[in-house]
Structure 1
């Protein structure tokens, strides 16, 4: 099957992550993810892979055995099954030739992919572009990854002259809910030595830095009172929460930062005068900066407790995931080197990009599997304007094949991981 047909077949399965079920601990959070997991597993078996498994959580693992008689490290490729919850409609993918200017997604509803809003479109003049009809996500995040991975396995099986060690496949659910699938993935039994996720953007982008990420939950406890007798008695937890927010560093929020600048993100506040719960994201690229931010919140809460009483405020801090770069230094940096060389061998200039978010490789790396992030070729993730140039999709699979070749050449010559 051609990679484009394969990708479009995946988009027809609605795998929108379900945040309510995810919060309840259900995995996968949506049944469509299990349907896609079984479909891909069947395709891998049909290609000739024997070691293909689907867990009760819809985690797919598979192995293409080495075709040489000497030991080589096992390289793995990962994608995620779910799509973001921003849009829940079924995808109606279409392939449109792009000749420049605005691209009409839906004539009836007058929905256009406008070059003025997305100037990078000019890089794809003359290419075919896969889009939706403007009423849903495309789901290239991350079905383009799955199509690329399966296409790579198909290509390697069709070309046995390409020498390679073990090549492993991992597909996980519910990435869009804090990397839930990769956090429970059994890295040890999987048996890979290093890995790559495909969960990034335009052609050439390469990610091996992301946030050190944490969650903060601040609980404010006040004292309710009837307004006719509230003087000296009412202690409004909502106002306490607002005062706490006002003491956060000015300008250190997502809407004021970019690049490697960290932030505090006030994401949710719910309550009444008696009790209010404030939830925040804490992000920083450096371990030192992350720890400083978490300590600041704890210290601020302690100061507020001294003013309002210890029973008035409770600060709960938790780590979510670490910067993948923490696991890709020194002797563990070789996956980056291999990826960079694979790009260049194909005439693709690497665009090293710090990711202002998380991806499955962060959790996998933290659990002992070094894992940079390779492009899928898609743009505008989590948007009805998500699009995927066909040449970029093909290039993503070409990079994976080149990674496999380079892994053989590097380690067959005696280099050590």
Structure 2
């Protein structure tokens, strides 16, 4: 099966993550994710994989057995089944031959070269787009297609040496990395892994946020407004006063590259009680610790001035993948070599966000992130150049083949 045919088949299954179901701990949060996993399970069987398991929560894993006599590390590749909830409509994907200019998605919706000038890089190529009513879902169905296409390559070329390869597809990445948090990496018994969940061709990620959440609960004092003087303590205003203690230049909208931030993300409540949610982000471990300490200090100062009316809860969300690659650069080196073997210039990006690999790395499975080839994730203007999709699969193949030069001592 051609890789494009695989991908288009996956797009026909609606796997939009369901935020409401996910918030209740239901996984998969949408039936389409299990339906897609069932289809992929059958395809893995036809490609000669063994130990294929589809769990009730839609986590799907399989093994490509080694054909080598060497004692090689075990590698794993991950993709996710769900698509983001920005659009819930079924995907109607189509292939266009791009010869420059704008691309008409439908009568009233245009993928504009002026708005997306990087389109010009793909002149003369086939590009997969939608009709403008949904996401394309290359995030992350391109990963599934790329991985299975690589497996087909090894099935068609049994003379090519390779080690043991583990394949895993996870549900509900798009809402808090739920599938990765549920997955048991010890059962996988892999040495390291890659997710395929980055953007355009060449993008390579092995650095992301150290991320945490602060929840500050403000307790006010209720009173009827007709006799509130000297009695009412408005929790909403307490929260507003607290927010002003933070540096205005360290907000998400004021930072880029490797600059960390505090994001006043959500505030819910009334005059009696208000809850403020703050995202804390920094690329360095020391910077992350300092930001947590800064929040603690601001709560302490606030309470000194406001009769202990603020309560703080701090939690860690995920860590920088780079923290777990300090003792071995093999996953990075293998990927960069694979890019170069395929005449792809590695574009190393520090990701201002999280991905499944951050959770997997924290669990003991170092996991950089390879490109899918797609652009404009989470948008109706998402598109996927066909040569970029093929290149993603070729990189997977090269990593697997190049690993045979790294026998365990």
Q: Whole-Å Cα distance in 2 between the matches of residues 215 and 21 of structure 1?
A: 22
How far does residue 15 in structure 1 lie from its aligned partner after superposition? 0.9
Contact 2:201 2:373 in 1 (8 A): yes
Which sits farther off after the overlay, 388-397 or 116-125?
116-125
How far does residue 69 in structure 1 lie from its aligned partner after superposition? 2.3
Residues 26-53 of structure 1, C-alpha deviation per residue, up to 9 Å, x if partnerless? Answer: 1111111111111111110122223110
Which secondary structure state, in structure 2, belongs to the residue aligned with residue 53 of structure 1?
strand
Identify the match of residue 373 of structure 2 among 377, 387, 391. Answer: 377
- Tell me the residue number matched to 1:303: 301
- Tell me the residue number matched to 1:247: 245
Q: Whole-Å Cα distance in 2 between the matches of residues 351 and 111 of structure 1?
A: 31
Contact 2:127 2:383 in 1 (8 A): yes
Runs (4 or more) in structure 1 with deviation over 3 Å come to none
Q: Whole-Å Cα distance in 2 between the matches of residues 16 and 347 of structure 1?
A: 34
Matches within 5 A, 1:156-167: 156-167=154-165
Which sits farther off after the overlay, 144-153 or 48-57?
48-57
Q: Whole-Å Cα distance in 2 between the matches of residues 145 and 61 of structure 1?
A: 14
Q: Whole-Å Cα distance in 2 between the matches of residues 192 and 147 of structure 1?
A: 22
Which secondary structure state, in structure 2, belongs to the residue aligned with residue 326 of structure 1?
helix
- Tell me the residue number matched to 2:261: 263
How far does residue 218 in structure 1 lie from its aligned partner after superposition? 1.1
How far does residue 313 in structure 1 lie from its aligned partner after superposition? 1.0
Contact 2:72 2:406 in 1 (8 A): no
Matches within 5 A, 1:312-391: 312-330=309-327, 332-391=328-387
For structure 2, the residue ranges without an aligned partner over 5 or more in a row are: none
Residues 123-146 of structure 1, C-alpha deviation per residue, up to 9 Å, x if partnerless? Answer: 100011111111111110000001
Q: Whole-Å Cα distance in 1 between the matches of residues 97 and 239 of structure 2?
A: 52
How far does residue 89 in structure 1 lie from its aligned partner after superposition? 1.0
- Tell me the residue number matched to 1:288: 286
For structure 1, the residue ranges without an aligned partner over 5 or more in a row are: none
How far does residue 410 in structure 1 lie from its aligned partner after superposition? 2.8
Q: Whole-Å Cα distance in 2 between the matches of residues 130 and 280 of structure 1?
A: 38
- Determine whether 1:139 maps to 2:132: no
Residues 336-371 of structure 1, C-alpha deviation per residue, up to 9 Å, x if partnerless? Answer: 000000000111110100011111111111111111
Identify the match of residue 391 of structure 2 among 377, 395, 409. Answer: 395
Residues 298-321 of structure 1, C-alpha deviation per residue, up to 9 Å, x if partnerless? Answer: 1111111111112x1111110000
- Tell me the residue number matched to 1:37: 37
How far does residue 179 in structure 1 lie from its aligned partner after superposition? 1.2
Residues 255-292 of structure 1, C-alpha deviation per residue, up to 9 Å, x if partnerless? Answer: 11111011111111111111111112111100111111
How far does residue 68 in structure 1 lie from its aligned partner after superposition? 1.6
Q: Whole-Å Cα distance in 1 between the matches of residues 334 and 323 of structure 2?
A: 18
Q: Whole-Å Cα distance in 1 between the matches of residues 265 and 97 of structure 2?
A: 40
- Tell me the residue number matched to 1:198: 196
Q: Whole-Å Cα distance in 1 between the matches of residues 259 and 286 of structure 2?
A: 13
Number of residues of Structure 1 aligned to a counterpart in Structure 2: 409
Q: TM-score of the superposition, structure 2-length normalised?
A: 0.98
Residues 379-402 of structure 1, C-alpha deviation per residue, up to 9 Å, x if partnerless? Answer: 111111111000000000000000
How far does residue 403 in structure 1 lie from its aligned partner after superposition? 0.3
Q: Whole-Å Cα distance in 1 between the matches of residues 123 and 185 of structure 2?
A: 42
RMSD (CA atoms): 1.0
Contact 2:50 2:65 in 1 (8 A): no
How far does residue 13 in structure 1 lie from its aligned partner after superposition? 0.9
Matches within 5 A, 1:73-84: 73-84=73-84
- Tell me the residue number matched to 1:93: 93
Q: TM-score of the superposition, structure 1-length normalised?
A: 0.96
Q: Whole-Å Cα distance in 2 between the matches of residues 243 and 106 of structure 1?
A: 48
Which secondary structure state, in structure 1, belongs to the residue aligned with residue 127 of structure 2?
strand
Q: Whole-Å Cα distance in 2 between the matches of residues 278 and 106 of structure 1?
A: 42
